[in-house]
Structure 1
């Protein structure tokens, strides 16, 4: 009996070990637990490239690279500055939160990479081109109007199109170089109501178009959101671009939707899509695709699988986010690609060279609120947990200045140092109610202070706790936990940020010794 129990236990242990080993070597959904929405993807040889949306941030239109569809790293941005206007510069009381550049289209054609986008802020469509997608340089062309959620498409006959719209989908022909609308062309309605297969009535009309051609057949991916339902993938197909088109619901599960098709060098197919996931943002998923009767079939038995037959993720650090000690060797870029400014920066008011090993943020004007202050330097938060920390030298803040660590979104949270005429204090500010409120203030008698924010996105908990430390060892919770809702006005997942702004006089500055990000939480609460 003992021998049988021993053999049974050994068998269970062996099977469990094998399962854990396979699971550890297998990719899991989401493939990126961070805000990477509106993906467009291509494969060139055995390398994959992906573009995404970062709207009001600068630089913008990020390009990522992968060898396995799972492990991605930032390699480029299509532009440093979308346009030099008040809304993008955070000047004259204007901003472009939730706007800027939206869903992009990424293509490779005749040795040239194309990535296109559109902006409500400027009313234009943008085309960026390069021969080297990783090193650039990128050339820009733009034209009116702003073609909503368009898909750039190079057809086999040499003609070039943009397909765009919401609900009623249209196409317009471009010049052969794709840098402008072909003279004399007219916009053509190709599908009168692309939402029809999902039964959308009063919900989100079909948008997010991505067009593909496989074995001579055109396939068009769209997202709809039927009233009372969930985000849904709708696919149409046709033998000609002009139609007739037939459509069907391709996926209704977990709200995973909007994206397109990608194939592997060995002939496998996947769909790349994303999911709204609360405060962390819109996170990418991969679904296996099989083909039945000429239709791509998404997922496993109509569901989004948790595990994928792809290599396991090595983590999002340092490919998507990364710590920064602000030390620079000769030839290094001033800022690694993981950093983006909240709107266009004033480049005269920041430096990583004025004090070796520090990021210096200087004040240049008086601001009335954190979200209207320039030169907040940001990175994505990541799930399911992440911690951001910094060491701030506040000795050069002037009365009325505020500097520190932020969680940026409409309902933001801040921990930092406020300077007053009678001294400095560590403060925690919460805009969780929609209005900024100072929840706690602690007098600061030294020039250096450690700041930390811990984010918990598990099961959409979406909570962040703020801490400070005087020695970097003992941490003290400050203020109250902030609930981090995803709000449409900003249309972006929460981002860690380093900030400094003045409310009275200019000339002050803050020095940040480092920013460190970790994919776990500490024990302090």
Structure 2
């Protein structure tokens, strides 16, 4: 018996050890969702990350992690970037794929800095706060727009931005960061940073991120050789002004653009991202070891599928989340997982007018989903995901269209339209040149359940739509949507709740809940 006990104990111990070692394995992508252009800092034992959401509001999400693997959104740098026609979706203009691009996140002398830039406004923006999670944020902006810049505080008290494409520039900022220092002219840092990537240049070196480690300056860039893949370039110098020597640091799976981060016990990683089809651009972590003062990225020059960090947990509720729209006094109107497509119109939405519902009210006439204001969005995520909502459509007016969308240039949606006084459940597919209504079914009830399903496995990138009259029996509707990551949107697909008018304004749709599921098998 004692031998048996010992054996059982031994096997149990072995199993626990295996489990424990398995639990210390994280998998790439670290976040299987659209989180591009990351900038990561560590303050004590806490990591913060900023990312790009361009035309969305609020913008520049700030995410927090204790282990580099599992993240949650804790803040945004701004509510709206600027008050312009294109950012407001006004007068036929939009800022799809524009708005704020790659950000730079820094912590210096007790203050957090997030800087970004926007081509459509021609400005560089710097946001500051003492409390990165609770704010408030102070905003500064100046011209010109410094492309893909890295904000950098040097040890001598000078503040710089490193920026540019191909030719990398160094500009010293005024002490109060209100603009480029007028006494010093921006100077060329590296005339042709793309050279180290080889002769066939496609995309010139950009995405600058500067780090100072053990007295040396390290500049990360990305380049894309023609017919090749996105590649990591690193330049190194003893002085910030150079001279710089460069090398190709990683060329695998197109994993590129980012920088360096270390753990409190001095494990080093490069944070990078990968174009991953219609789900968007997904973050990767790549182990780093140091040789002769150079960071060596990857394992045998490859971005591994797994890394020695704690296991990935669910993206819910930190990055995406279900929502029943019930708000207690003191709650935020919208949890941080939500972003509006473009700047919202405050008086045309509410989670308080009708308890437990999101109400979207129309305020003008539009002809298509991508022109509609106040689309409330969340990221889709891989490898599979589904979203379900229920809409009370009794407040819709003639010509209204309301429902659940998968938002990108080649969008699809399932919802309700009102035509000649009658309501119809419709599915609209915009994967071709023009949106096509591929199904229309008469609706006589005021409540309808809608579902959108995404299959991103092996970049299948297929979406399917369903409706239900009771919330449990689902009926497929319309055609399969072949999702595609396209410009100008420049963003992974988003789930979107919407209501737009084509004939008369003032109609409203009441969304009872938004429910996310991390698989598709139970429906499809």
Place the TM-score, normalised by the shorter chain, in its bin.
over 0.9
**Equivalent residues in 2 for 1:296-375 (5 A)?**
296-375=295-374
Q: Note if contact 2:73-2:319 (Cα within 8 Å) is conserved in structure 1.
A: yes
Q: Post-superposition shift, 1:369? A: 1.1
Residue of structure 1 in register with 2:42 after alignment = 43
CA distance in 2, matches of 1:521, 1:342: 25
Residue of structure 1 in register with 2:3 after alignment = none
Residue of structure 1 in register with 2:5 after alignment = none
Confirm whether residue 493 of structure 1 aligns to residue 492 of structure 2: yes
CA distance in 2, matches of 1:20, 1:250: 34
**Alignment deviations for residues 309-340 of structure 1 (CA, whole Å, 9 cap, x no partner):** 11111110000000000000110010000000
CA distance in 1, matches of 2:483, 2:277: 8
CA distance in 1, matches of 2:107, 2:44: 11
CA distance in 2, matches of 1:124, 1:462: 35
Q: Note if contact 2:224-2:231 (Cα within 8 Å) is conserved in structure 1.
A: yes
Shifted more, 52-61 versus 240-249: the winner is 240-249
Residue of structure 2 in register with 1:108 after alignment = 107
Residue of structure 2 in register with 1:391 after alignment = 390
**Alignment deviations for residues 20-65 of structure 1 (CA, whole Å, 9 cap, x no partner):** 6633442111100000000001000100000000000000010000
Question: TM-score normalised to the size of structure 1?
Answer: 0.96
**Equivalent residues in 2 for 1:371-450 (5 A)?**
371-450=370-449
Q: Note if contact 1:109-1:154 (Cα within 8 Å) is conserved in structure 2.
A: yes
Provide structure 2 residue ranges, at least 5 long, that are not aligned to the other structure: 1-9
**Equivalent residues in 2 for 1:268-307 (5 A)?**
268-307=267-306
Q: Note if contact 1:233-1:257 (Cα within 8 Å) is conserved in structure 2.
A: yes
**Equivalent residues in 2 for 1:23-42 (5 A)?**
23-42=22-41
Q: Note if contact 1:75-1:337 (Cα within 8 Å) is conserved in structure 2.
A: yes
Confirm whether residue 252 of structure 1 aligns to residue 271 of structure 2: no
CA distance in 2, matches of 1:304, 1:103: 22
Q: Post-superposition shift, 1:242? A: 1.4
Q: Post-superposition shift, 1:227? A: 0.6
2:302 alignment partner, SS class: coil
2:193 alignment partner, SS class: coil
**Alignment deviations for residues 429-452 of structure 1 (CA, whole Å, 9 cap, x no partner):** 000113211000111110100000
Residue of structure 2 in register with 1:86 after alignment = 85
Q: Note if contact 1:385-1:456 (Cα within 8 Å) is conserved in structure 2.
A: yes
CA distance in 2, matches of 1:496, 1:183: 46
Q: Post-superposition shift, 1:181? A: 1.5
Q: Post-superposition shift, 1:524? A: 3.1
Q: Post-superposition shift, 1:480? A: 1.1
1:89 alignment partner, SS class: coil
1:43 alignment partner, SS class: strand
Residue of structure 2 in register with 1:71 after alignment = 70
Q: Post-superposition shift, 1:202? A: 3.7
Shifted more, 149-158 versus 514-523: the winner is 514-523
Question: TM-score normalised to the size of structure 2?
Answer: 0.96
CA distance in 2, matches of 1:415, 1:376: 14
CA distance in 2, matches of 1:292, 1:237: 13
2:278 alignment partner, SS class: helix
Q: Note if contact 2:172-2:181 (Cα within 8 Å) is conserved in structure 1.
A: yes
Confirm whether residue 175 of structure 1 aligns to residue 174 of structure 2: yes
CA distance in 1, matches of 2:309, 2:177: 35
**Alignment deviations for residues 137-164 of structure 1 (CA, whole Å, 9 cap, x no partner):** 0000000000000000000111110000
Residue of structure 1 in register with 2:477 after alignment = 478
Q: Note if contact 1:387-1:455 (Cα within 8 Å) is conserved in structure 2.
A: yes
Residue of structure 2 in register with 1:235 after alignment = 234
Q: Post-superposition shift, 1:184? A: 2.0
2:347 alignment partner, SS class: helix
CA distance in 1, matches of 2:114, 2:433: 36
Q: Post-superposition shift, 1:12? A: 12
Residue of structure 2 in register with 1:147 after alignment = 146
Shifted more, 198-207 versus 301-310: the winner is 198-207
Q: Note if contact 1:398-1:420 (Cα within 8 Å) is conserved in structure 2.
A: no
CA distance in 1, matches of 2:293, 2:212: 12
1:480 alignment partner, SS class: coil
CA distance in 2, matches of 1:396, 1:443: 17
CA distance in 2, matches of 1:458, 1:379: 19
CA distance in 2, matches of 1:16, 1:264: 28
Q: Note if contact 2:201-2:224 (Cα within 8 Å) is conserved in structure 1.
A: no
1:121 alignment partner, SS class: coil
Shifted more, 100-109 versus 201-210: the winner is 201-210
Residue of structure 2 in register with 1:505 after alignment = 504
Q: Post-superposition shift, 1:250? A: 0.4
1:371 alignment partner, SS class: helix
CA distance in 2, matches of 1:177, 1:311: 40
Q: Note if contact 2:200-2:225 (Cα within 8 Å) is conserved in structure 1.
A: yes
CA distance in 2, matches of 1:300, 1:387: 35
Residue of structure 2 in register with 1:60 after alignment = 59
**CA gap 1:423/1:66 in 2 versus in 1, 3 angstroms:** same
CA distance in 2, matches of 1:20, 1:103: 38
Confirm whether residue 522 of structure 1 aligns to residue 521 of structure 2: yes
1:203 alignment partner, SS class: strand
CA distance in 2, matches of 1:16, 1:47: 31
Residue of structure 2 in register with 1:267 after alignment = 266
CA distance in 1, matches of 2:439, 2:19: 45
Q: Note if contact 1:410-1:434 (Cα within 8 Å) is conserved in structure 2.
A: no
